[in-house]
Amino acid sequence: MTEIVLIQGDITEQAVDAVVNAANSSLLGGGGVDGAIHRKGGPAILSACRDLRAGHYGKGLATGQAVATTAGNLPARWVIHTVGPVWSATDDRSALLASCYRESLRVADELGAQTVAFPAVSTGIYGWPMDDGARIAVETVRATDTAVREVRFVLFGPQAYAAFAAAL
């Protein structure tokens, strides 16, 4: 059974097997969690992402999918990049958000990862309401059959932490 742990802090400081990056589809870095992971992880992550773009992911990574690279200078072994959906008030994209968590856990299982740190995918610049994002994240992790022993939701501030605590 997977233990779910909540931490208010910096995802780039987590000593885990895999850190999940809320990436954009280009895989080439951006703002928020994505930018922080690329900055702290160093050029090895960007190089690995460029290699992915040169291969199978030439058009980028689709929303809801996940792929792994090295973690570079991070205290993790791998970074699992997943592209969350942009929130829409008129189009229910919750299945895509749930897919980000499921697919990241699938990739973690393929890697043999036992500990995985997730951010609150899509709740930053992509505008997903935090309470709903937390509910989808927790429900999806609970419902996913995985060998991962510990999932950490590493949350940037007290509001995110409170939303995930309520969902948990």
Nearest of 119, 87, 90 to residue 20 by alpha carbon: 119
Is the pLDDT reported for residue 58 higher than 90?
Answer: no
Local confidence band at 52 (pLDDT 50, 70, 90 cut-offs): confident
72-123 pLDDT tens trace: 999 999 999 999 999 999 999 999 999 999 999 999 999 999 999 999 999 9
Is the pLDDT reported for residue 59 higher than 90?
Answer: no
Active-site annotation holder among 10, 34, 92, 109: 34
The strands making up 3-8's β-sheet, listed across from edge to edge, are: 3-8, 150-155, 115-118, 18-23, 78-83, 66-70
| Domains in the chain, number | 1
Q: What does pTM read for this prediction?
A: 0.96
Which residue segment(s) compose the domain that 95 sits in?
Answer: 3-167
Find the helix or strand (DSSP H, E) in which 152 lies. Answer: strand 150-155
Local confidence band at 53 (pLDDT 50, 70, 90 cut-offs): confident
- Write down the pLDDT at residue 122: 97
14-23 pLDDT tens trace: 999 999 999 9
Q: Is 34 an active-site residue?
A: yes
Q: Count other C-beta atoms under 10 Å from residue 93's C-beta.
A: 18
Nearest of 117, 137, 130 to residue 158 by alpha carbon: 130
* Domain containing residue 107: CATH number: 3.40.220.10
